[in-house]
């Protein structure tokens, strides 16, 4: 058995074990362990593909542009303002409010992160070249997604300073904070998958960012509208909305139905992106 096949088997086993822990148990601790195992399985499965190389190139490309630093400054500046305003207004930090603004800002940030991923390749004519290279459409899509997702994670790492401030000022609920970070990571992954799909349809980055924002904002708005709708239709509409699932994370609840919601949407949009990139071979 080759080393590549062995890693594929290990990756599949870890992914399955992770999904079982997420879906079969309601314990937040087991859900987190399941999520980590799932991510490790994905990493192991992609180890011998071109996806890591593409991801490194995309991640490096973000920091060659001043847009990355402008995004980081604006994002962190607004969050810091809300965090400090919450302390002054109530005498204590409102973590739910802080993570709520992080979710809302992600609706604007993620379309900017993803707008150039495939649209720029199509505009320069390099997308057709890449689809004829010894790189599969799956590797190209996953590599682009991972690169953008890693940048999104780096964007949120400095927010840990606020957790440090809370720790020095008092005794924060670390369980709620961990659950909130799990929620923001899953929410961001879903937004990036939507943005990547939209980027595959156009050569214009501005159009890509605008359409991505509209699509994700509608997905966010649906959940709010569902709260006001009566009966079963209201529950169905509320479940479709992304905001409904996220808010439980900010309350300290890591529930398998919410985790599965974001993972399912992310996989679905990535699948559509792969099919869209594949269509470029026939144009």
Q: What is the DSSP string of 223-266?
A: HHHHHHS-HHHHHHHHHHSHHHHHHHHHTT---HHHHHHHHHHH
Residues 138 and 176 both lie in one domain: yes
Question: What is the pTM (predicted TM-score) of this model?
Answer: 0.84
Q: For residue 36, what are its two tokens?
A: 């980590």
Count of beta carbons in the 10 Å neighbourhood of residue 237: 18
Residues 185 and 113 in one domain: yes
- Among 11, 33, 48, residue at a domain's last position: 48
Work out the average pLDDT over 3-9.
Answer: 61
Average pLDDT over residues 168-184: 80
Q: What span, in angstroms and rounded, lies between the C-alpha atoms of 262 and 246?
A: 9
What's the mean per-residue pLDDT of the chain?
Answer: 76
pLDDT at 46: 64
The verdict on 41 and 57 lying in the same domain is no
Report d(CA 215, CA 196) in Å as an integer: 12
Residue at which a domain ends, from 13, 29, 48? 48
28 and 168 part of one domain = no
Both 149 and 211 in a single domain? yes
Same domain, 7 and 57: no
Domain's final residue, options 9, 26, 48? 48
Question: Is there a single domain that holds both residue 29 and residue 96?
Answer: no
Does the pLDDT of residue 145 top 70, yes or no?
A: yes
- Do 108 and 37 lie in a common domain? no
Give yes or no: residues 84 and 217 share one domain.
yes
In whole angstroms, give the CA distance from residue 169 to residue 98: 16
pLDDT at 265: 86
Ranges 133-142, 150-159, 203-212, 269-278, most confident: 150-159
Pair 146, 17 in one domain: no
Q: What is the pLDDT of residue 182?
A: 86
**Closest by Cα among 269, 122, 104 to 196:** 269
pLDDT at 2 over 60: no
- Tell me the C-alpha distance between 4 and 45, whole Å: 9
The total domain count for the chain is 2
Domain co-membership, 264 together with 187: yes
CA 14 to chain centre: 21
Burial class (CB in 10 A: 0-12, 13-18, 19+), 24: exposed
Q: Given the structure tokens 């980081």, which residue do they identify?
A: 72
pLDDT in tens, 37-96: 777 666 666 666 677 788 788 888 888 878 778 888 888 888 888 777 766 766 565 677
The answer to whether 126 touches 207, Cβ cutoff 8 Å, is no
Q: Note the pLDDT of residue 118.
A: 75
Res 116 pLDDT > 60:
yes
Give pLDDT tens digits for 232-265.
Answer: 666 666 677 777 778 878 777 777 778 888 888 8
**Domain hosting residue 22, numbered range:** 1-48
**Residue 281, pLDDT above cutoff 80:** no
- Binned at pLDDT 50, 70 and 90, residue 176 comes out as confident
Domain shared by 193 and 269, yes or no: yes
Query: Which of 76, 78, 96 lies closest to 166, judged by CA?
Result: 96
Residue bearing the bigger pLDDT, 70 or 4? 70
């Amino acid at each position: 058995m080759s080393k590549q096949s062995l890693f594929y088997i290990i990756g599949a086993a870890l992914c399955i074990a992770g999904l079982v822990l997420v879906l079969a148990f309601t314990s937040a601790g087991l859900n987190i362990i399941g999520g980590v195992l799932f991510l490790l399985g994905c990493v192991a499965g992609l180890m011998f593909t071109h996806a890591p190389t593409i991801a490194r190139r995309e991640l490096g490309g973000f920091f060659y542009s001043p847009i990355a630093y402008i995004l980081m400054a604006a994002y962190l500046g607004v969050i810091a303002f809300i965090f400090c305003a919450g302390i002054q207004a109530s005498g204590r930090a409102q973590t739910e409010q802080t993570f709520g603004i992080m979710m809302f800002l992600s609706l604007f940030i993620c379309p900017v992160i993803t707008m150039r991923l495939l649209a720029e390749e199509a505009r320069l004519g390099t997308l057709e070249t890449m689809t004829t290279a010894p790189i599969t459409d799956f590797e190209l899509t996953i590599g682009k997604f991972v690169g953008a997702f890693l940048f999104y994670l780096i964007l949120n790492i400095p927010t840990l300073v606020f957790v440090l401030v809370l720790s020095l000022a008092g005794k924060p609920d670390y369980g709620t904070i961990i659950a909130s970070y799990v929620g923001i990571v899953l929410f961001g992954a879903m937004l990036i998958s939507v943005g990547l799909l939209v980027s595959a349809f156009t050569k214009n980055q501005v159009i890509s960012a605008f359409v991505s924002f509209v699509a994700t904002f509608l997905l966010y708005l649906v959940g709010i509208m569902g709260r006001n709708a009566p009966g079963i239709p209201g529950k169905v509409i509320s479940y479709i909305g992304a905001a409904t699932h996220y808010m439980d994370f900010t309350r300290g609840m890591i529930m398998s139905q919410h985790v599965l919601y974001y993972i399912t949407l992310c996989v679905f949009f990535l699948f559509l992106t792969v099919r869209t990139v594949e269509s470029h071979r026939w144009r």
